[in-house]
Structure 1
């Protein structure tokens, strides 16, 4: 695993399942979001800038490739890393794998922009925030 990739583990519970007995597609959004929150928690430099409230990351696109079903009792690992950093947007890459056999359950690429909260417009990723993000890039 890359140094700037974070990883969380979670167990599939009964309330995650749909009528077919596997994880409902919408639950994967929650699993991925949990991975991103953990990623930002572990990188204090990012949270310091974002906690001031004048800028925020806003998701503008999310593509999920569902590969295999996860079922109750499966232990999953969600890995997250920063894959690309542009002037106004960035992309995160995430993978969900099943622990016992390493099967790829889902993978996702999420694009976010930096929002200037006061003006409700995309802002340039520069200065302190860019300095915090650049070392986290994984190619």
Structure 2
């Protein structure tokens, strides 16, 4: 693999740094710090999800957006969106994301596996209020041999105001044994087809 194919970057709390991929629907068991057994796969620069100066952004190609208007029933007694509402919004956005790939979950099931969520990590950054239009961007950010991670960002439409950032982690599980399995063969091909489809 050439240097050019791995020279991608990711924005973190500490700024923009070079990084390696970890996983798309991935499990905390395999991906928590200190688990060196996870063999990470490097994704090429076209999978960049944070625009970086000097590199053309593929944000529009790789992210699928969902808009949700904040209603009164989303609010708590303090007048802003209750924190428990955001996971519901994120789930709706993930459903909308996979609607772009009809039959995806049926095809995954035919491979003999499924992809249950094993961890959701939310970072609440700012509040949102009634009548705000929330834009939720969803992308498959990482793919490893054992798991997958979906990264989601909620912003107020037309602004750079980030409300929530989330990483949703899932593991491959064998339908017959109920045990975790590697992401390989037809299952991996289905996930890679989604990644490729996001680029079109």
TM-score norm. by structure 2 comes to: 0.63
Q: Which residue of 1 aligns with 2:98?
A: 40
> Which residue of structure 2 lines up, in the alignment, with residue 114 of structure 1?
172
Instruction: Within 5 Å, give how 1:77-92 maps onto structure 2.
Output: 77-92=135-150
Q: Out of 117-126 and 12-21, give the one that drifted further.
A: 117-126
Deviations 1:1-35 (A, max 9, x none): 24131111010111111111111111100111111
Structural RMSD (CA): 2.0
Are residues 1:25 and 2:55 paired? Answer: no
Contact 2:111 2:186 in 1 (8 A): no
Larger Cα Rg: Structure 1 or Structure 2? 2
- SS of alignment partner, residue 61 of structure 2: coil
5+ residue gaps, structure 2, are: 1-58
Answer yes or no: is the 8 Å Cα contact 2:113–2:187 preserved in 1.
Answer: no
Deviations 1:46-77 (A, max 9, x none): 33423549422111111111111011111001
Question: Which structure's residues are more often strand, by fraction?
Answer: 1
SS of corresponding position for 2:115: strand
Aligned pairs (5 A) from 1:98-137 = 98-135=156-193, 136=195
Unaligned runs of 5+ in 1: none
Correspondence for 2:151 among 84, 93, 100: 93
CA–CA distance in structure 2, aligned partners of residues 124 and 44 of structure 1: 24
Aligned positions, number: 138
Larger mean Cα displacement after TM superposition, 66-75 or 43-52 = 43-52
Does the 8 Å CA contact 1:22/1:69 hold for their aligned counterparts? Answer: yes
Structure-1-length-normalised TM-score: 0.88
| C-alpha distance in structure 2 between counterparts of 1:26 and 1:117, whole Å | 31
Q: C-alpha separation between the residues in 1 aligned to 2:167 and 2:140?
A: 10
- CA distance in 1 between partners of 2:89 and 2:136 (Å): 7
Task: Give distance in 2, aligned partners of 1:41 and 1:86.
Answer: 23
